[in-house]
Structure 1
Amino acid sequence: MVLDVPPSAAPLPRILVVDDSPDSLWLMSQLLEGRYHVLQAASGQEALCLAATEPAPDLLLLDIVMPDMDGYEVLRRLRQQPRTASIPVAFMTSLSEREQVVLGRELGAVDYLTKPVDVREVIARVEAHVSQRQHARRMEVLGERLARHLSPGQWEDLFHGARAPSIRFAHQPLMLLLVQSAALNGSTSEREAFRGELALLALQFGGELDRFERESTVLLFDEPASALKALRAMQQRHDPRGLRLALHDMQAEVARFEGPGGLERTLVGGEAERVRQAAEEARGGVVAISPAAYAALRDELAQSHPGEVFTARYTGPAIDSGKLSAM
């Protein structure tokens, strides 16, 4: 089976523009479209509804003077609901009196932009706020994930101590090798022994084991061919019928940091979970491969390896039937 995995390009940040003026909504959409996914609301009530959707906006650009509910009241209500309380809000208004600015800051506004807008200033400040928001989200995901694996002291040192500056986030191309085995459902010693073997296997071929992935065991490779070599080595060492394997080439959101054992890397997006779900129907001894992975490994897959079986449910160009077998 060739996996039908959703596209993995990084989604555009979401900006919610709230203004009762159609001209202002149009102008802001024109300024931001292409860089961001722009949502529009012409009233305070509509803004509250859109802000509560998933995924939440990364930033609200909120007009103050509106007929049904002014921007201050919209911000008050946003802060009262857990789902919307942390969304950053920047006021956009023609009001410029100092008391208005102070009130907005007291309510929790992160910025205050006056109309008519300065195009370069708006874009620069929106980019800054969105970057801060995305970094905070990634840190939250990473902190939650690592809390399951690090001791309280190690976690504190990484996020608030000497190792905190080592945390970096990136969106980069990776080949994911997903591994499922009965050994991972055994005793603690069996699981740790198998994962140790996978870590050494990944290292041998220039990759690394994501030690912090919750739902699946995933090996990360910068080079697609290295992932295939690791997969073939695994099949030689274990009965392929006891393994469930999947390959997917994608743009992945990754965190790198200095862990207790040195530099570590872990997925902070949902990439591994999407591959795991797509690969669930693959039976033991058959490697599930996504169209992106097949395209990246076309030449390597053309080289014959005894006993190697990939699934053939593929709607793209014809595949050598000697390499692939129907499920």
Structure 2
Amino acid sequence: MITSKPAGTPKARILVVDDTPDNLYLMSALLEDTYDVATAESGVQALEMAQSATPPELILLDIMMPEMDGYEVMRRLRQNPVTAAIPVIFLTALTSIEEEQFGLDLGAVDYITKPISPPVVLARVHAHLERSGNARRLQALSEKLGRYLAPQVYKSLFDGSRDAEIRTQRKKLTVFFSDIKDFTASTSKWQPEDITFLLNSYFSEMSKIALEYGGTLDKFIGDAMVIFFGDPDTYGVKEDALRCVKMALAMQRRMSELQILWREMGSDKTFQVRMGINTGYCDVGNFGSDLRMDYTIIGSEVNLAARLEQSADPGGIVISKETYGLVRDEIVADELEPLMAKGFAEPLAVYSVREEARRESAARKVFQWERLGMRVLIDLDRLPSAERAAAAVELREMADRLH
């Protein structure tokens, strides 16, 4: 049974493609009471309309057309990401099983032969619009839910490589902790809007860097972040550790750049971040109950990463002996006094990471020069690549004027 939409609901837009005017008239008359019908007399016109600002939600496509037949239109629709998801029903006089199978293999959702039966056309159009609408709603919902999961976990759940069941395993991971030094005391007199803006922009930038280096973002705990490397994806224990330390260095660089940008935006508020990294065997997987689970890590090695972070200076990165042994060939670090950490009986060998000057200058993305009568700020993340040449010309012109 075909049900009508509630009053005020926009009509679904359908594109009918046929090179015969009589067929276009017939299909328009059949569908226009229920749907917003657009027509195209050629494949080229159909592709243009499908890529327009008001694309159709369903296409009824004839096969036998001059210049570009329906099969070629179908191929091009599926090759273009903008139109690939639009459902297509072939509407044609070709009646062989082979022709029907060929059309379905190209990606059509249905195949209706001429002469058409109006009830059949209406029923199938309605069914496929319902199915397409449900698919879009599920996709939107999955994308919203995905924001509550680490990208790697989201991907593994939706591609079927991971099940939503209570299961853990023991693996050697590299664990990263960070927090904002004296966050509560520093922000006690700030306005809530200032705290929200700075904290969210900080988390957003740090999350991008974590994703870039392949880290699994475990959770936010107040102003703290927990990230680990080695599950669900791993590059090997040594490479996981190296990526984690490089990520921390990139985060501290970006933090320095954010402080410049915040000042340029008129904010006199800022903070500093300290970080700790440890490598060791942890239990990783889904913990919880049948009603709610949390994909996370537990174990003494996780606690040690948290202790290392608490011992770091503002703007510093402290790593364990285990992590240092894995990254020492590529990371410069200074050995610190042995650390007596809560929960650990023996003093711990720890190292403070410092970045080589060459790498620091190559990785900078925000540059600022300021003196009396002059202030220049360049943010490469916000300056499009296509405009950098023009910006360089403008800088040279400014330099010429100074002479």
TM-score (norm 2): 0.37
Higher relative contact order (CA 8 A, sep 6+): 1
TM-score (norm 1): 0.46
